[in-house]
Chains A and B, each alone.
Chain A
């Protein structure tokens, strides 16, 4: 199926890069075309949560300078997709274990929010790189 919108961001793994992720999304939406608001907000939330997860994990496990990530956004007539690749230490993620944090907790909501907003979320380690794949229908 023909791709209608495609954007790529290469950035340092640091909190400020989340602003660049938002800017990329804003620019991408202008070309994606009509999508229901809830789908748009859900997808955007999931992308920002995974970006935050990449930053958080790298900071906690590693801290080595030079860690980078690449975000690729693409859309066709039916699907919105995002792919993250980072060169941080490979992490083990079991998404089947993820559940929404109790309301009193101050963290533990990121992956659960992403899962709730998407049709598909996968994490794998490919050639030593963490790869996240996100997908949802255009609604």
Chain B
């Protein structure tokens, strides 16, 4: 199961998926981020410190959300990925485009 915490910070909006981002939850993650982009614009930081597992559907959702954010003139950045998330980002080369930052603060700065 998953929950999404959304909070506004100076420099952007932070979305924190808590739980597993998989085929079961990928759609609601996309909807949450799309809503944030439409409402706030600018930078979206996905705080993955509480995201215990990501599968290919979750990765697809991250790529889609990156496109959505950029099309709106903003950006999407990943912060504090857990070990499994770091591994799959590396195996899929998505770490090159999603370029994870160590902390949310770092991601908000750019």
- A residues bordering B, Cβ < 8 Å? 15-16, 18-19, 22, 37-38, 41-42, 44-45, 48-49, 52, 55-56, 100-101, 103-107, 109-110, 112-113, 116-117
Once A44-B84, A113-B92, A116-B91 are accepted as A-B contacts, the answer to whether A105 and B63 lie under 8 Å apart by CB is yes
Once A37-B83, A52-B55 are accepted as A-B contacts, the answer to whether A113 and B88 lie under 8 Å apart by CB is yes
In contact, A45 and B92 (Cβ under 8 angstroms)? no
In contact, B88 and A18 (Cβ under 8 angstroms)? no
Cβ < 8 Å to A, chain B residues 1-48: 1, 20, 22-24
- B residues bordering A, Cβ < 8 Å? 1, 20, 22-24, 53, 55-57, 59-61, 63-64, 67, 83-84, 87-88, 91-94, 96-97
A40 to B40, CA, bound (A): 39
A116 to B87, CA, bound (A): 11
A44 to B84, CA, bound (A): 9
Which residues of the partner chain B approach A38 to less than 8 Å between Cβ atoms?
Answer: 87
- Per DSSP, chain A at the interface is helix
* Candidates B1, B60, B83, B87; contact of A19 at CB < 8 Å: B1
In contact, B20 and A52 (Cβ under 8 angstroms)? no
Interchain nearest-CB distance for B82 vs A (Å) = 9
Interchain nearest-CB distance for A35 vs B (Å) = 13
Which residues of the partner chain A approach B55 to less than 8 Å between Cβ atoms?
Answer: 45, 48-49, 52, 110, 113
